[in-house]
Structure 1
Amino acid sequence: MKPYVISIAAVSGGGKTTVTNHFLGKLNNSKALYFDEYVFKDCPEDICDWVSRGANYNEWNLSPLIKDIQEYLKNESLEYILLDYPFAYLNDAISGYIDLTVFIDTPLDIAMARRILRDQSENLVYDLNSDLNNYLVRGRDAYLEMQKNVKPNSDIEINGLLPVDLIVDQLIKELRHRGL
């Protein structure tokens, strides 16, 4: 049997990595891959520009991530592969490897607050003002793109306001319900 591949998506600051890490800790014989740890070549450099051009998810050349998924799939001792990955089934090159997609539906104000706390803890107020202004002028569209296209292309939608332990408990119940 091959490992079951679960993709976990959310907007930036929506809880992907936190949920992935907690979920990984609850599953036996599992590994996780994190989208943000990869350097992808031949991909959009400016997310906001990519969204304004129509957000074609196939513009992303995800070869390094796909290569690692393929390697993990060869490991017969693994039961699950978790992907901290933002696109659900929307990239054709990777969609065939994914068995289940989860979208953590976190309100944009909460996600932005989490992102500021995570990314701006050591930066100057000017940097914070610049980041917030960029969000209002350009970046919000990228967040809305996730809600418009990734969320409806996911198998499971989870309330991002729930504590992480409850989110993971719901995911484990869902796996049991599916006989996995």
Structure 2
Amino acid sequence: MDEIMIIGIAGGTGSGKTTLTNRLKERFGKDVTVVYHDNYYKRHNEMSYEERSLLNYDHPDAFETDLMIEHIKKLKQGIAIETPIYDFAVHNRSNQTSMVYPTRVIVVEGILIFQNEILRNLLDIKIFVDTDADVRILRRILRDVKERGRSLESVVTQYLTTVKPMHEQFVEPSKRASDIIVLEGGNNVVALDMIIQRIHNHVCGMRV
């Protein structure tokens, strides 16, 4: 198949990464495939739900990034992969998997995808979504309570004990590796139009 473009979309929790990803998916449809770093959280069957809920999910060691790197390399070669699926309700990897087929554009999304040098070097365009911390925590609370069945207290505790310090230690510094910094994610119409044009040029086989 023709050359595949790999786009990385990183940023803190609740920054608007998924909104931006969804806008690109809506615009380009079957030409865009998305791989989520969240699905590569390590499996912890040896732990109880209570033990798993106390793990630090915002540290690079929480992810099986080596497997994701292997999968991205295969997609870039035009080979389909079988991605894991993570179940946030039980804090563990599901027994289900999902087939992902190579397309003209692969979007890789996750908070820490720029932190790993090998993964970072596989990305043709690195986009960091930058949003105010107050907005991000409010979005995370709404998402985790409504969509993931968490209590307000557990979300706030997790944010203060692991999410915020890990963001400052790993996520924020990785912004320096980005090619483009987008304020407010998919709601930034000017940045979105520029990204869409760059992808359009690739999909249509035009020289930029």
Band the TM-score falls in, shorter-chain normalisation:
0.7 to 0.9
Structure with greater proportional strand content: 2
Contact 1:11–1:146 (8 Å) recurs in 2: no
1:143-158 equivalence runs, <5 A:
143-146=167-170, 148-158=172-182
Moved more, 73-82 or 102-111: 73-82
The secondary structure found in structure 2 opposite 1:120 is helix
Match of 1:35 among 30, 37, 48: 37
Contact 1:34–1:85 (8 Å) recurs in 2: yes
State how many pairs are aligned: 169
Unaligned ranges ≥5, structure 1: 51-56
Q: What residue number does 1:46 align with?
A: 56
Letter in 2 for 1:170: M
1:117-155 deviation line (CA, Å, top 9, x unaligned): 11112757xx31243244335432123235531212111
Matched, 1:69 2:69: no
Matched, 1:78 2:80: no
Q: What is the alpha-carbon distance in structure 2 between the residues aligned to residue 65 and residue 165 of structure 1?
A: 30
Q: What is the alpha-carbon distance in structure 2 between the residues aligned to residue 161 and residue 5 of structure 1?
A: 18
Q: What is the alpha-carbon distance in structure 2 between the residues aligned to residue 177 and residue 3 of structure 1?
A: 13
Q: What is the alpha-carbon distance in structure 1 between the residues aligned to residue 77 and residue 161 of structure 2?
A: 45
Match of 1:169 among 172, 181, 193: 193
Paired-residue identity, %: 23
**Residues 1:104 and 1:146: Cα distance change in structure 2 (over 3 Å):** farther
Q: What is the alpha-carbon distance in structure 2 between the residues aligned to residue 120 and residue 158 of structure 1?
A: 27
Q: What is the alpha-carbon distance in structure 1 between the residues aligned to residue 158 and residue 57 of structure 2?
A: 12
Contact 1:10–1:146 (8 Å) recurs in 2: no
Moved more, 17-26 or 140-149: 140-149
TM-score by length of 1: 0.75
Deviation at 1:60, TM superposition (A): 5.3
The secondary structure found in structure 1 opposite 2:146 is coil
**Residues 1:92 and 1:163: Cα distance change in structure 2 (over 3 Å):** closer
Contact 1:18–1:164 (8 Å) recurs in 2: no
Q: What is the alpha-carbon distance in structure 2 between the residues aligned to residue 148 and residue 82 of structure 1?
A: 20
TM-score by length of 2: 0.66
